């Protein structure tokens, strides 16, 4: 099984945070859907070159959040999409979005991407996202 998750070992963001974000993103974007089975802890740890305890920690946290569910002897499955973001106040959401955008731009600038490259890629990704969400 090829994972839909991407982890950067040289990223300053801790691996567990990257994996949690990647799983939530995959569910939100429809790469993983309700009922989909995730790789076992061991499989994902080997595939992503991570410690199995880190993967288990992320799975457990996402299970506490209600996003994943584990059935002993069967596997770990997508239970629900990440929720709660819509309940934040508008000013708080705007502040969170701005912080996210600033981190993204700082990372992109550090890797030498230009404004035009960033805007072009974001427009492409957004159009792909719209096609997927309207295609269902």
Alpha carbons 27 and 31: distance in angstroms, whole number: 6
CB atoms within 10 A of CB 40: 15
Q: Is 66 left (phi over 0), alpha (psi -120 to 50) or beta?
A: left
For residue range 6-59, list pLDDT tens digits in order.
888 888 889 999 999 999 988 888 888 899 999 999 999 999 999 999 999 999
Average pLDDT, rounded, for the chain = 85
**15-78 CATH pick, 1.10.760.10, 1.10.287.110, 1.10.10.10, 1.25.40.90:** 1.10.10.10
Domain ranges of the chain: 15-78, 85-134
The most distant pair of C-alpha atoms in the chain lies apart, rounded to whole Å, by 49
Q: Write out 22-49 in H/E/C secondary structure.
A: HHHHHHHCCCCCCCCEECCHHHHHHHHC
pTM exceeds 0.85, yes or no: no
5: pLDDT strictly greater than 90: no
């Amino acid at each position: 099984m090829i994972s839909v998750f991407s982890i950067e070992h040289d990223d300053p963001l801790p691996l567990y945070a990257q994996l949690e974000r990647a799983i939530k993103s995959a569910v939100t974007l429809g790469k993983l859907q309700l009922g989909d089975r995730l790789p076992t802890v061991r499989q994902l740890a080997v595939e992503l070159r991570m410690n199995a305890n880190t993967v288990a920690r992320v799975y457990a946290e996402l299970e506490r959040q209600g996003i994943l569910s584990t059935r002993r002897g069967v596997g770990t499955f997508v239970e629900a999409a990440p929720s709660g973001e819509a309940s934040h106040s508008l000013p708080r959401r705007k502040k969170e979005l701005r912080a996210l955008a600033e981190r993204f731009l700082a990372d992109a600038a550090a890797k030498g991407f230009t404004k035009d490259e960033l805007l072009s890629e974001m427009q492409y990704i957004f159009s792909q996202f719209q096609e997927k969400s309207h295609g269902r």
